[in-house]
Chain A
Amino acid sequence: MAETATRSKSASSSGSSKTRRAGTRSGGNRSQRRASEVFPGESPQTLCDYYRQMALIRRFEERAAQGYTQAKIGGYCHLNLGEEATVVGLMSTLRSDDYLFTNYREHGYAIAKGIEPGRVMAELYGRSTGTSKGWGGSMHMFDVESGLLGGYGIVGGQVPLATGAALAIDYRSGDQVVMCQMGDGTTNIGSFHESLNIAALWNLPVVFVVVNNHLGMGTTVDKSSAESELYKRAVAYRMHGERVDGNDVVAVREASSRLVERARETGQPAMLETVSHRLKGHSVVDPGKYRSQESVEAAREADPVAAFRAQLISAEVLDEDGAVEIERQAEASADAAVAFADDSPHPNPETLFDYTYATPVANDSRRLPADPVF
């Protein structure tokens, strides 16, 4: 079987579900194959668009890291570096009116779900033009129009919420689907269990995506999860679960699209585990000293952006110049996002009490720290 067939998915029934490594970069030894062989049924435009988005997220995250070191960005800052194929593959399967709930590692999702990169960067910069008007920061992006119903900083916090959103869709007999992204470490928290049980029990249209990047901060999956093949946990809820190579954008797209459309048609929830690597630390400030040399090398070797680039060139979907042009544009977009954020106003302290309550209420306190109570 050709190496490029790494897009194969492992269904929940498959016992040995070791993820195969994503496409090699050493395509040079092999004879080049045509796009139709390597990517059967894929239009070159679609493939290039995936690469464009992946390259954009890569550049965007690199700019975010820079902004953080320049102290333009505060708080925590978790990047999607190494998860670009997963992010783009997943987001390509959602309609714009489908809902997405994520954890705090969500910059890429926000962009791929359709939010202007400038607004995402502006949120990182804490500006009033940001997705959450500067009230959320890196971990808390939100945008009604594109259906991103929140990045959440509390591990597992988004899982009951996503389940409830699916309940609301079901209640109104809508045909949207909810996608709930989370990390591998999140499968060990109570809300995960409670929510998957409820979603399966009530047949709610939600796809739980576990982005297995092998690590929750410094803790490996093996050290945190008694069943380390995470997709198998779905079995406990009689839910369909499967695992896919998260470094392979087309494979992720294929698996996700199948589960999303199944949820849309039948209302059945599902769990999708994507396997990839975290290229850098848990957050920008984490040097990742706890990581083994092999883990770091595996991550670097599997780099989904580089791998996809090589595949596209080897399949003659792109040539070197075309790839460079996409990267140049990605860089320009990321730079434009930074410029937009930098030029955007800081929120006015006068707005401090604007968002405590949606329904104004008697005796609501508007006291600043030094104000007397009476």
Chain B
Amino acid sequence: MAVITYRQALHDTLREEMLVDEDVFLIGEEIGVFEGSYKITAGLLDEFGEKRVRDTPIAEEGFVGAAVGAAMLGLRPVAELMTINFSLIALDQIVNHAAKIYGMFGGQCSVPMVMRTPGGGGQQLGATHSQNIELYYAFVPGLKVVAPSTPADARSLLLASIRDNDPVLFLENLSLYNTKGEVPEQAEQVEIGKAAVTRPGSDVTIIGYSRMATVAQQVAEKLADEEGISAEVVDLRSLRPLDRDTLVQSVRKTGCAVIAEDDWLTYGIGAEVAASLSDGAFDYLDVPVRRVAAAEVPLPYAKPLERAALPSADSLTTAVRETLDAVGRRR
């Protein structure tokens, strides 16, 4: 069991899969000579050469589409989109092509590809470079969307994604790359489509994914230490398919839920989670489901504004406390 960063986990997994499967290759902007905008692919060009680590022009639609075409012929491209914001340029190839080819042609041709891309704000990158728009992809049948929050999940879900025969959007987060965690030598197979209860508890369920799943974990630990609150944490891990059963089971037990998401509240991932809780745990809820999400503005650059707009451990803590107050579960 080694403790490594989320970045290292991604890097090592890509490398291992490239070693075992000739059909796996990397494609994207600045992934080779520049070693990746966030250095996930560092050293891989030297090791595997230009055929397996393919630097592309600034042409998201062109190279994502080329990856789809190559996948149609059985290769397993792992495309890196510098950030999820730029995936919008490739939206047509992702939504109208990658997601449709298997079904639209009656199951004759699958598209085994991965699109790795980081989302996330908080780095003062301004409105166009700080978005959490994974919802756009999680909305689309035919795509699979995973959003691991820990190095261990990053490793196992990346393995699962590369070996999967469908197009997978693999969501990373700028603020997770340097986080550390234990990664077992022998990667545990994490199934796509399964959430995880990452901390058991009985007072309240906190549901998050990607960065906010780690924030939820921290908040739960702090509330336990300081206030004796027993919060259960559920990490969605997959946004499509959504593991409603795990969510509902947890909330049937705790009777209240707080959803933590980095995206915008209206129509966001949390809205779907809340609707699912209404579908599956309505009679068990002691208090309305609470959502902690980003303020609905184009994210400003100035630090105080940016900080005010994004969900944080503090805002989540407040929401959890208020939820528990409403049911009289805090001392």
In the complex, B29 has a CB within 8 A of chain A: no
Taking a contact as CB atoms under 8 Å apart, the answer to whether B280 and A161 are in contact is no
Q: B106 touching A142 by the CB < 8 A rule?
A: yes
Residues of B within 8 A of A357 (CB): 102, 142, 144, 165-166
**Does B97 count as interface, using CB distance less than 8 angstroms?**
yes
Q: A144 vs B164: C-alpha distance in the bound complex, in angstroms?
A: 21
Say yes or no: is B26 at the interface (Cβ < 8 Å to chain A): no
Complex CA gap A219/B297 in Å reads 39
Q: Is A374 an interface residue (CB 8 A)?
A: yes
A362-B59 in contact given A167-B69, A191-B92, A372-B279 (Cβ < 8 Å): no
A194 is contacted by which of B61, B69, B142, B191 (Cβ under 8 Å)? Answer: B61
The verdict on A317 contacting chain B, using a C-beta distance below 8 Å, is: no
Taking a contact as CB atoms under 8 Å apart, the answer to whether A168 and B165 are in contact is no
Are the CB atoms of B106 and A171 closer together than 8 Å? no
Smallest CB separation, A293 vs chain B (Å): 37
Query: Which of B149-157, B169-177, B178-186, B237-245 lies on the face that meets chain A?
Result: B237-245
Whether the pair A374, B144 counts as a contact (CB closer than 8 A) is no
Q: Is the interface of B mostly helix, strand, loop or mixed?
A: mixed
Residue in B25, B74, B141, B243 whose CB lies within 8 Å of A363 = B243
A149 and B72 contact, CB distance less than 8 A:
yes
B27 to chain A, nearest CB (A): 9
Determine the residue in chain A with the shortest Cβ distance to B25.
A171
Judged by a CB distance under 8 angstroms, whether A345 is at the interface is no
The CA of A361 and the CA of B59, in the complex, are separated in Å by 31
> Once bound together, how far apart are the Cα atoms of A363 and B146, in whole Å?
13
- Residue-by-residue, is B25-36 near A (CB-CB < 8 Å gives 1, otherwise 0)? 100000000000
Complex Cα spacing A140 to B107, Å: 13
Given the known interface contacts A133-B107, A197-B59, the answer about A161 and B65 at a Cβ–Cβ threshold of 8 Å is yes
B residues with a Cβ closer than 8 A to A are 25, 51, 54, 56-57, 59, 61-75, 77, 92-93, 96-97, 101-112, 141-142, 144, 164-166, 191-194, 238, 241-245, 248, 275-276, 279-280
28 A-B interface contacts by CB (under 8 A): A99-B73, A132-B105, A135-B107, A142-B105, A149-B72, A154-B96, A154-B97, A160-B93, A161-B93, A164-B70, A165-B72, A169-B73, A191-B61, A194-B57, A197-B62, A198-B59, A201-B57, A354-B107, A355-B107, A357-B102, A357-B166, A359-B165, A359-B166, A361-B144, A362-B241, A364-B193, A364-B241, A373-B276
